[in-house]
Amino acid sequence: MKYLNWIPVLIFGLLTHVAAADEVHVAVASNFAAPMEKIAAEFARDTGNMALVSSGGTGKLYAQIKNGAPFEIFLSADEATPAKLEKEGLSVAGSRFTYAIGKLVLWSPKPGYVGPQGEVLKKGDFRHLAIANPKLAPYGRAAQEVLEKQGVWQPLQSRLVFGENIAQTHQFVSSGNAELGFVALSQIRQDSAEHQGSFWLVPQTLHAPIRQDAILLARGKGKTAAEQLLKYLKSDKATTIIKRYGYGLPE
Amino acid sequence: MACLNEESDLNAFDFAPVWLTLRLATTTTLFLLLIGTPLAWWLARTSSWLKIPVGALVAMPLVLPPTVLGFYLLMTLGPQGPMGQLTQTLGLGTLPFTFAGLVVGSVLYSLPFVVQPIQNAFEALGTRPLEVASTLRAGPWDRFFSVAVPLARPGFLTATILGFAHTVGEFGVVLMIGGNIPGATRVLSVAIYDHVEAMEYAQAHWLAGGMLLFSFLVLLALYGFGQRTQRVGP
């Protein structure tokens, strides 16, 4: 019975944690989670401040931010959502900028399958083509535009399967359940799949640019570490990482 | 962009996910009763050492995150997985992204919700009613269908309601193996998730509120029934 004394101590211990240096809570779109972790590690080394990264779909993160999630920085997968947050007064005005430009690829783990210009789309000898849900994901919207420009959006309707986000779309293809799919260049670069399968780097002229915008949220206003991290995203170290992961940068 | 907006307006009155969910839950419940009844009977009667490991296996979906089940289903049912290879040799193609695939996933996921109530009901019978039936020269099938099943009726009812309701409420598994295809794999829970992600909160409210009401009514029926059988019971 005397052990009962320890229960409050235990609960207290579980509910609190000691913050060493300054912490920044970052919400990041799932496609940028891996490079962000790398950037966060460099950031910690250079400044001593910790960036705590939470990743998820842009729409879900928006809903969480709107409902009081403790994020200070938001790295979106699009430009519309940060603009919306700004309009709703949930962010610091004027803090918005494009941190990366997504590149879309049509990818298959099968070597020599996709064709240098994505010829496979017209040949159509596949059962499933995976794209991210165009309603939810900017990469899905871009994929739809490409398919429409190629004149195959209608004929391929019955073979499309939709990932909730670009991560799930990649999973459908890498597990072999869909023969091919439109994914982010950063994803196949990450698992070095670009060296094994075949892919077509879709020319940026076939779809509107996938601008990914960052924004300082209202909760991060005046917080040095948060402002530091936003600036750090534009540093040479960070942009090198961003480029290495297969993203473009704004001019 | 114009076509996307039209689509979301249409979705406000889109009942396809509701019907699909009801169809999935009904099919799944039927299969569960077919598979679950003999399994529950065996678990209730056997003294084999296999009883404990099999019982534990059946109960696994209670503790596993649905994403674990969904992930392994995607792998094993896919073209490179063992089950996928089997279904392909049988000329059935692969199961992910199909209604049949969702049924397979849902049956596995809701198995304990059907097996356990039936097993409990069979165990509660004891051996006596069956022994009595057997002295009256009832054969094993006769004993099962005219004695055990009618006496275990409350267990079957609970199993049916729980199996059905749990399938309606399923999300992780269908999300991972479904591919979100309208009319085939976009069930209610996925449609709600989509609406929230797309910031269409009004549509999300309609569906989510409906689910809330549905779940309450199901549980109300379940508990109401439990009360009644307790009062009427022997």
Give the pLDDT of chain A (251 residues) as one tens digit per residue.
Answer: 567 777 777 777 666 655 456 889 999 998 898 899 999 999 999 999 999 998 888 888 898 898 888 899 999 999 999 999 999 999 999 999 999 999 999 999 999 999 888 999 998 889 999 999 998 889 999 999 999 999 999 999 999 999 988 888 999 999 899 999 999 998 888 766 566 789 999 998 999 999 999 999 999 999 999 999 999 999 999 999 999 999 999 87
Long-range contacts of B44-52 (CB under 8 A, 24+ apart): B44/B119, B44/B122, B44/B123, B45/B122
Q: Are residues A128 and A70 in the same domain?
A: no
* Cα–Cα dist A245/A162, whole Å: 24
Query: CA dist B179 to A67, B103, B196, Å?
Result: 29, 14, 17
Task: Tell me whether residues B79 and A136 touch, CB distance under 8 A.
Answer: no
Instruction: Residue B88: list chain A partners with CB under 8 A.
Output: none
In the three-class reduction of DSSP (H, G, I as helix; E, B as strand; rest coil), residue B184 is classed as coil
DSSP A208: -
Instruction: Residue B183: count other Cβ atoms within 10 Å of its Cβ.
Output: 10
- How many helices, marked H, and strands, marked E, lie in chain B? 13, 0
What pTM was estimated for this model as a whole?
Answer: 0.79
Long-range contacts of B26-32 (CB under 8 A, 24+ apart): B26/B164, B27/B103, B28/B103, B28/B106, B28/B107, B28/B110, B28/B163, B28/B164, B28/B167, B29/B114, B29/B160, B29/B163, B29/B164, B29/B167, B31/B103, B31/B107, B32/B107, B32/B110, B32/B111, B32/B114, B32/B159, B32/B163
* Cα–Cα dist A141/A197, whole Å: 24
Instruction: Residue A163: list chain B partners with CB under 8 A.
Output: 179-180
* Cα–Cα dist B168/B214, whole Å: 10
- Per-window interface: A 98-137 vs B, CB < 8 A: 127-128, 130, 133-136
Domain containing A161 — which CATH number? 3.40.190.10
Tokens representing B85 are 């290879």
Q: Are residues A87 and A111 in the same domain?
A: no
Question: Which among B80, B93, B180 is the nearest to A162, CB-wise?
Answer: B180
Please tell me the number of Cα atoms within 13 Å of A107 on its side-chain side. Answer: 30
Q: Is A23 on the interface with B (CB under 8 A)?
A: no
Q: Are residues A147 and A131 in the same domain?
A: yes
Query: For position A16, what pLDDT does the model report?
Result: 63
**Is residue B206 one of the residues assigned to a domain?**
yes
Query: For position B234, what pLDDT does the model report?
Result: 43
Longest Cα–Cα distance in chain B: 75
The low-confidence residues of chain B, meaning pLDDT below 50, are: 1-12, 231-234
For residues B34-46, one letter each, b for 16 or more C-beta atoms within 10 angstroms of the residue's C-beta and e for the rest, the string is eebbebbbbbbbe
pLDDT in tens, A122-155: 988 899 999 999 988 899 999 999 999 999 999 9
* Cα–Cα dist A129/B188, whole Å: 23
**Is residue A9 one of the residues assigned to a domain?**
no
Question: Which among A128, A160, A175 is the nearest to B74, CB-wise?
Answer: A175
Domain containing B66 — which CATH number? 1.10.3720.10
Contact A235, A93 (CB under 8 A): no
Q: Measure in Å the smallest separation between the Cα of A240 and chain B Cα atoms.
A: 31
Domain holding A178, by residue range, is 104-201
Query: For position B1, what pLDDT does the model report?
Result: 33
**Is residue A35 one of the residues assigned to a domain?**
yes
Query: For position B54, what pLDDT does the model report?
Result: 96
Contact A121, A170 (CB under 8 A): no
Q: Are residues A96 and A215 in the same domain?
A: yes
Question: Which among B8, B79, B196 is the nearest to A59, CB-wise?
Answer: B196
Q: How many domains does chain A contain in total?
A: 2
Q: Measure in Å the smallest separation between the Cα of B33 and chain A Cα atoms.
A: 30
Task: Tell me whether residues B196 and A163 touch, CB distance under 8 A.
Answer: no
Query: For position B3, what pLDDT does the model report?
Result: 39
Query: For position B84, what pLDDT does the model report?
Result: 92
Task: Tell me whether residues B96 and A133 touch, CB distance under 8 A.
Answer: no
Task: Tell me whether residues B79 and A133 touch, CB distance under 8 A.
Answer: no
DSSP A49: P
* Cα–Cα dist B67/A168, whole Å: 12
Which has the closest alpha carbon to B182: B5, B15, B6, B9? Answer: B15
Query: For position B233, what pLDDT does the model report?
Result: 43
* Cα–Cα dist A100/B133, whole Å: 76
Contact B199, A63 (CB under 8 A): yes
Q: Are residues A129 and A73 in the same domain?
A: no
Instruction: Residue A138: list chain B partners with CB under 8 A.
Output: none
* Cα–Cα dist A245/B15, whole Å: 42
**Is residue B77 one of the residues assigned to a domain?**
yes
**Is residue B176 one of the residues assigned to a domain?**
yes
Which has the closest alpha carbon to B73: B99, B96, B90, B93? Answer: B96
What is the ipTM for the molecules in this complex?
0.71
Domain holding B169, by residue range, is 17-49+60-232
In the three-class reduction of DSSP (H, G, I as helix; E, B as strand; rest coil), residue B149 is classed as helix
Q: Are residues A126 and A185 in the same domain?
A: yes
In the three-class reduction of DSSP (H, G, I as helix; E, B as strand; rest coil), residue A74 is classed as strand
Query: For position B187, what pLDDT does the model report?
Result: 93
